[in-house]
Amino acid sequence: MPLAPKLDAASAAKNLDEVKPPYAPQEALVEANRCLFCFDAPCIMACPTGIDIPSFIKKIATDNVVGSARVILSANILGASCARVCPTEVLCEGACVMLDKEKEPIKIGRLQRYATDHVFNNNIKLFQPTKKKVGKKVAVIGAGPAGLGCAAELAQMGYDVTIFEKREKGGGLNTFGIAYYKMKPEVSLEEVALVESLGVEIRYSVEVGKDISVEELDKKFDAIFLGVGLGDTQKLGIPGEDAKGVVDALEFIEQIHTQPLHKVPVGDRVAVVGCGNTAIDASTQSKRLGASHVHVIYRRGEKEMPAYDFEYELAKSDGVEFLFNTLPLEVLKDNAGNVRGMKLAKTRVAAGKVEVIPGSEYEEVFDMIIPAVGQEKQKSWIQKVFPKLEIDKKGVIINDPQTKQTSEKKIFCGGDCANGGREVVNAVGEGKKAALGIHNFLMGEKVDSEVQPSRHGLKEGRPTGSGLRNPVRAPELEEAYFSTNGNGNGHKKA
Amino acid sequence: MADLSINLAGIKSPNPFWIASGPPGNTGYQCERAFDSGWGGVVWKTIGEPIVNVSSRYSALNYGQTRMIGLNNIELISDRSPETNFKEIYNVKKKWPNHAVIASLMVDTRERWHEFVQRSIDSGADGIELNFGCPHGMCERGMGSAVGQQPKVAETIVGWVMEAASGKIPVIVKLTPNITDVTQAARAAKRAGGNAISLINTINSITQVNLDTFVPEPYVNGQSSHGGYCGPAVKPIALNMVQSCAEDPEVQLPISGIGGISNWRDAAEFIALGSTSVQVCTAVMHYGFRIVEDMAEGLSNYLDSKGFKSVNELRGKAIHSLNRWENLNLNFKRVAQIDYDKCIGCNLCFIACEDGAHQCIDLVSPNGQGLGPGRLPGKPIPQIRQEDCVGCNLCSLVCPVDDCIEMVTIETGRPFFSWKEYQTKLAKGEMQPIPPHP
C-alpha cells in the first residue's frame, strides 16, 4: 500500500501540539521562586553555553522577564530553541542541587522558554548591531546552531560575518529536524532573524564548492568557520532498501516541517530502524500522524539503547512498541515495489558483538520503513572542498578542543562536523568557543576566563560573572585548572 | 489532653482562639459559623455610629509565591446599625452560652460610651473591647488610634467606660501599635481601671504602589489612603509589644494577643509571652474559619508533648527569658558548623557570609569531601573557619536544608561577664578596655 495522509488538519495539529505547553505567568513565578539562587551554581557549569541560570531565574521571580531573556540570549543566541530541545534532564536540571535534597529539580528549560518567548512574542529588541568594528571578515559555512552561535558571538565582537547556507532557510536541524511536538520551525526562524539583526549577513541557497569557491572565500575572508553538521541518514545496507515506502528519518521529519501536517504521507504499520533520539522522534511522530502500529527495531537490548530515558518513556506512552535484540535482514516488497514487510532475526550480544541467533528469522508486516541508524559525516564533501583539512577515521574534522582551530590555521569548526554529533546546545557552545578562538587567532588577544570553575576566586583584574562575553564550559580545561590548583580557591581572611 | 479553656478577666472561653474584631465577626451568621468551626470566642466587628465605607478597601503584600503575608485595609467600623448588631449578639449568646462574645465599641462622647456599655450588657455580651486602635478614618473623627496614641485621653475615656461597666462587665482596652512606647497606653488603661488589654491593632501602612497608575493600593477613584497593616508580617512587632506589656510592673493586666497569628505555633508563642487569649483575623480572611481545627489540635498536642496540663501553664513561660542587652553574657560563644552529609552545595552560606557578614567561610575544592550525587567535578564546597566565626547565625538562617548548618556552643572557660559589669569595672579602673575587633 502506498503511503498516504491519515488525519484531517485539526486532528493532525492537535496530535502534534507541543508536549510541554508554555508556563502561565503564575506557574513561572512559583517555579522561579523555588530556585535557591545558588552561588556558583552547578547548573551553570553543566550548560555548554554557560548561561547564568540562577540569575535569569531570579529575574523571572521579580517580573524582570526582559532582563531574564537578555541573560539567556547573551550567553546562548539560540536560547529559545535550546529551552525546548535541550536534554535538560542530563544537563542543567541534572546538576540542580534540588536533586541532592531529593526534590524535583527546578524546571530550568521551561523557565528559559518562558523568558525567551516573552521577548519574541512581544517583539522586544534586546540587541543592537555593535558599532565598534574590528575591521576583519569571517565566513561561516552553514546556518545551523554552530554557525549561528559562532556568527552571533563574532558579530557582537565587531567582526563582519557572512554565513553561507545551501538551503533556502537557516536554522539547520532546529528548523528542519526537531520533532514537531517539541518545537515549531517558526521558533528557529525567529532566532535566525535575531542573528541577522546583529548585523550578520546570511546568503541562502549558496553551496560552498559549487556556487562559491573556497579560493574566493580564502581571498575575501580573514577566517572561515565550518559548521556543516552531518550528512544523510546512513543506509541499512540490506536488500530491498530501495522499496517505495522506505523513508529516511530526517527526510520524514523534514516533510513534517515543510508541508501541512495533514498532507504528510505515513504508513499504517511503521517500522523505525535504530534506537537513537532521532528514531524516537520519527516513531512518535508517525504514531501521532495516524499510524496504527509503530515498532522501533533495535539490534541490541534496552540498556544499550542510545536514546535518553525520557525520550524512551515518551515513545512508550505514545504506544510505540520496541523490538529489542532484533535485526532487519531484508525489506520485503510487493509486486508494485511497495514495502510489504521486513524479514527480521533475533540477536544476542556476545563479547560486545551482535550476532544473529540461528533459525530465529521471521517476517513482520509493515508498509513503511524509517531508517534512523545514524547520520553520515560530511567526509566526502570536506575531502572534495577542503582537501587539505585533516579528518579522523570517522570523518570528524580534527580540531583543538579549546580554540576549535583545525589543521588549516585559518579554518575553525564546531558542531556535529567537529564532534561527530551531539546536542544543539553543544553546537552553540562550540560555535562560541570557535568565535573566541578566531578572535585570538586574528587579534592575538588571549581570551580571558575560558576556565571558569568558579566565579569566585578568579585572579585579580579578571572579569567575574560572564567572562569575555560569556563563559564557555571547557571540562578539559577545568581538569587542568584543578590539577594545578589542587587546593581550590579557598581564601584566608587577611 | 490538656485543658484549653481560659478565663480572661472573667471572660470564659472553651479555648483561647478568638476571632479578632474585623470582617469575619461582622454578623451573627459569621459568629455562629465560627463557633461551629471550633472558635472559642468572637470579638464583634466594632459597633458605633454606622459609617459609610469606600470601595475598594484591602491591599496585600505578596512575597515570592506567598500571597498576603501582609494585608492592609481602609475599612471602617461596622456599617450596620447598633440595633441590628446588639440584637444578633443577643441571639448568638442565647444559642452559645459557653462561648465568648465580646462587643467591640467605638463612640465619642461620655454619654454615648455609657449608652453603648449598657446596651452591650443588655445584649448579654461576655465582655467589651474598646477600639483605641484603628489608624484610618475614625481617628480623623477623634476616635480609634487618635485616642490610643494619647495615654491621657485614653485614660479619660477608659474612666468613662468604667463608670458604666465596673463590676458589671469586663472591659478590654485594645491598643494601637502606632505609638512610640505601647506600655504608656497600657499603663493608662490600668490606671483608669480597665480589666484587660488586647494588642496590637493594625499598623499604619502603604502596602504597594501601582507602577502603572502611580496610585497606591487600594484604589479609590484615582487615590488611596494609609491603611491598617496586619497579617503574618506584623507578628514580630506584635510579639515584642505583648512581651513589653506583660513584663511591665505597672501594667499587670490580662492580655489578649493579636497580630499575625495564623496557626497553633504563633498562638503558643503569644501565650508564652503572656497572652491569655489570642485573636485571629487575617488568617481567617485568607482561609476561612476552618483553620481553627488545626490550631486547637496543634496546641493541644504541643501542650501534651511538653507535659502541660492546661494552656494556662504555658502562659508567660518566655517573658523573663528576654532581658536588656546590657545584661547578656559577653563571654558566651556560638559558632556555625556544617553537616556535610546534608550540604547540597548551594553555597548560599558562603556568599551570605562573604558579602553580608564576617567572611568566615571559604570555598574549597572538593578533594573528595562533601561531594554528593549528581555533583560535577570541580564544584566548590563551603568550609567554616570556626576560629573567625562570630556566631551571627546568618549562614544557618540562609541555609535551605534543615539542620545542615548548626550553631554549636563553644566552651570559652570564661565566666559570665555583661556589658553592665564591664562598664562598672572600667569606671572603677579594675580593668583595661577590651581591644576593638581587628
Cell 505597672 locates to: B250
Residue of B nearest to A38 (CA): B346
> Once rounded to an integer, what is the mean pLDDT over residues B418-424?
96
Residue of A nearest to B341 (CA): A100
Name which of A42, A482, A493 is nearest B365 (Cβ-Cβ): A482
Which residues of B are known catalytic residues?
Answer: 134
Share of chain A above pLDDT 90, in %: 67
Does the structure show a pLDDT above 70 at B10?
yes
Tell me how close the Cα of B226 comes to any Cα of chain A, in angstroms. Answer: 25
Residue of B nearest to A457 (CA): B363
Least confident range from A334-348, A436-450, B115-129: namely: A436-450
Q: pLDDT per residue over A24-48, tens digit each? A: 999 999 999 999 999 878 888 778 8
User: Mean pLDDT for chain A?
Assistant: 87
Q: pLDDT grade, residue B400 (50/70/90)?
A: very high
Record the cell numbers describing residue B312, joined without a space: 494556662
Q: A83-92, A474-483, B115-124 — which one is most confidently predicted on average?
A: B115-124
Does the structure show a pLDDT above 70 at A395?
yes
Whether residues B346 and A485 touch (CB distance < 8 A) is answered with no
Q: What confidence score (pLDDT) does residue B329 get? A: 96
Q: Which residues of B touch A453 (CB under 8 A)?
A: 378, 380
Does the structure show a pLDDT above 50 at A117?
yes
SS3 B101: strand
> Once rounded to an integer, what is the mean pLDDT over residues A321-345?
95
Q: What confidence score (pLDDT) does residue B418 get? A: 96
Q: What confidence score (pLDDT) does residue B365 get? A: 64
Q: What confidence score (pLDDT) does residue A46 get? A: 79
Record the cell numbers describing residue B121, joined without a space: 450588657
Q: What confidence score (pLDDT) does residue B77 get? A: 94
SS3 B196: strand
Least confident range from B102-111, B131-140, B192-201: namely: B131-140
Does the structure show a pLDDT above 90 at A198?
yes
B386 part of contact set with chain A, CB < 8 Å: no
> Once rounded to an integer, what is the mean pLDDT over residues B409-434?
95
B378 part of contact set with chain A, CB < 8 Å: yes
Q: Which candidate in B355, B359, B361, B365 is best for mutational testing of the A interface (most A CBs within 10 A)?
A: B365
Tell me how close the Cα of B217 comes to any Cα of chain A, in angstroms. Answer: 19
**In contact, A141 and A147? CB cutoff 8 Å:** yes
Name which of A96, A481, A489 is nearest B363 (Cβ-Cβ): A489
Q: pLDDT grade, residue A121 (50/70/90)?
A: very high
For residue A69, give the nearest of A153, A3, A125, A8 by alpha carbon: A125
Does the structure show a pLDDT above 80 at A324?
yes
Does the structure show a pLDDT above 60 at B286?
yes
Q: pLDDT per residue over A241-278, tens digit each? A: 999 999 999 999 999 999 899 999 999 999 999 999 99
Radius of gyration of chain A (CA): 24
Q: pLDDT per residue over B352-394, tens digit each? A: 998 999 989 887 766 644 333 333 445 678 889 999 999 999 9
Q: What confidence score (pLDDT) does residue A217 get? A: 95
> Once rounded to an integer, what is the mean pLDDT over residues B217-222?
96
Tell me how close the Cα of A225 comes to any Cα of chain B, in angstroms. Answer: 31
**In contact, B370 and B340? CB cutoff 8 Å:** yes
Q: What confidence score (pLDDT) does residue A413 get? A: 96
B438 part of contact set with chain A, CB < 8 Å: no
Q: Which residues of A touch B360 (CB under 8 A)?
A: 493
Q: What confidence score (pLDDT) does residue A76 get? A: 92
Q: What confidence score (pLDDT) does residue A447 get? A: 55
Tell me how close the Cα of B434 comes to any Cα of chain A, in angstroms. Answer: 21
Tell me how close the Cα of B361 comes to any Cα of chain A, in angstroms. Answer: 9
Residue of B nearest to A89 (CA): B374
B65 part of contact set with chain A, CB < 8 Å: yes
Q: What confidence score (pLDDT) does residue A167 get? A: 95
Question: Chain B window 173-192: which residues touch A at a Cβ cutoff of 8 Å?
Answer: none
Whether residues A454 and B360 touch (CB distance < 8 A) is answered with no
Q: What confidence score (pLDDT) does residue B163 get? A: 97
> Once rounded to an integer, what is the mean pLDDT over residues A350-376?
93
**In contact, B228 and B131? CB cutoff 8 Å:** no
Record the cell numbers describing residue B153, joined without a space: 485621653
Record the cell numbers describing residue A106, joined without a space: 527546578
Q: How far apart are CA B246 and CA B253, in angstroms?
A: 8
Kind plus residue range of the DSSP H or E element containing B265: helix B264-272
Tell me how close the Cα of B359 comes to any Cα of chain A, in angstroms. Answer: 7
Q: How far apart are CA B282 and CA B247, in angstroms?
A: 27
**In contact, B275 and B13? CB cutoff 8 Å:** no
Name which of A36, A46, A456 is nearest B363 (Cβ-Cβ): A456
Name which of A38, A99, A492 is nearest B374 (Cβ-Cβ): A99
Q: pLDDT per residue over A470-492, tens digit each? A: 444 444 444 444 444 443 333 33
> Once rounded to an integer, what is the mean pLDDT over residues B113-128?
98
Record the cell numbers describing residue B168, joined without a space: 458589671
Question: Chain B window 347-366: which residues touch A at a Cβ cutoff of 8 Å?
Answer: 347-348, 350-351, 354, 359-360, 362-366
Name which of B64, B359, B365 is nearest A488 (Cβ-Cβ): B365
Q: Which residues of A touch B380 (CB under 8 A)?
A: 40, 453-454, 456-457, 488-489
Does the structure show a pLDDT above 80 at A128?
yes
Whether residues B374 and A492 touch (CB distance < 8 A) is answered with no
Q: Which candidate in A38, A63, A473 is best for mutational testing of the B interface (most B CBs within 10 A)?
A: A38
Whether residues B65 and A453 touch (CB distance < 8 A) is answered with no
Q: What confidence score (pLDDT) does residue A436 get? A: 87
Whether residues B350 and A30 touch (CB distance < 8 A) is answered with no
Name which of B350, B365, B374 is nearest A94 (Cβ-Cβ): B374
Q: Please report, to the nearest 10 degrees, the dihedral formed by the alpha carbons of residues A51, A53, A55, A59 taken in order.
A: 110
- Start-end of H helices in A415-473: 416-419, 424-443
Predicted TM-score (pTM) of the model is 0.86
- Start-end of H helices in A326-419: 379-385, 416-419
Least confident range from B48-62, B113-127, B139-153: namely: B139-153
Q: pLDDT grade, residue A231 (50/70/90)?
A: confident
- Contacts with B236 (C-beta within 8 Å, 6 or more apart), sequence order: none
Q: Which candidate in A97, A451, A473 is best for mutational testing of the B interface (most B CBs within 10 A)?
A: A97
Query: CB neighbours (10 Å) of residue A109?
Result: 20
Q: Which residues of A touch B375 (CB under 8 A)?
A: 42, 95, 100
Backbone angle region of B221, left / alpha / beta, with phi > 0 → left and psi within -120 to 50 → alpha: left
Q: pLDDT per residue over A431-467, tens digit each? A: 988 998 899 899 886 654 333 433 333 333 333 333 3
Q: Which residues of A touch B363 (CB under 8 A)?
A: 40, 454, 456-457, 488-490
> Once rounded to an integer, what is the mean pLDDT over residues A7-31?
91
Whether residues A490 and B347 touch (CB distance < 8 A) is answered with no
Q: pLDDT per residue over A129-149, tens digit each? A: 988 899 999 999 999 999 999
Q: pLDDT per residue over A157-186, tens digit each? A: 899 999 999 999 999 999 999 999 999 999
- The better pLDDT of the pair B82, A306 is held by B82
Q: pLDDT per residue over A210-222, tens digit each? A: 999 999 999 999 9
User: Mean pLDDT for chain B?
Assistant: 93
**In contact, B170 and B10? CB cutoff 8 Å:** yes
Least confident range from A53-57, A430-434, B46-50, B376-380: namely: B376-380
SS3 A81: helix
Query: CB neighbours (10 Å) of residue B427?
Result: 8
Identify the bridge partners of residue B69 per DSSP, sorted by sequence position: none
Cis, peptide link before residue B51, omega less than 30° from 0: no
- The better pLDDT of the pair A87, B183 is held by B183
For residue A394, give the nearest of A417, A411, A373 by alpha carbon: A417
> Once rounded to an integer, what is the mean pLDDT over residues B203-212?
96
Tell me how close the Cα of B409 comes to any Cα of chain A, in angstroms. Answer: 23
Q: Which candidate in A30, A36, A452 is best for mutational testing of the B interface (most B CBs within 10 A)?
A: A36
Q: How far apart are CA A148 and CA A196, in angstroms?
A: 9
Whether residues A45 and B378 touch (CB distance < 8 A) is answered with yes
Least confident range from A479-483, B44-48, B63-67, B271-275: namely: A479-483
**What is the biggest distance separating any 2 CA atoms in chain A, rounded to whole angstroms?**
87
Does the structure show a pLDDT above 90 at B164?
yes
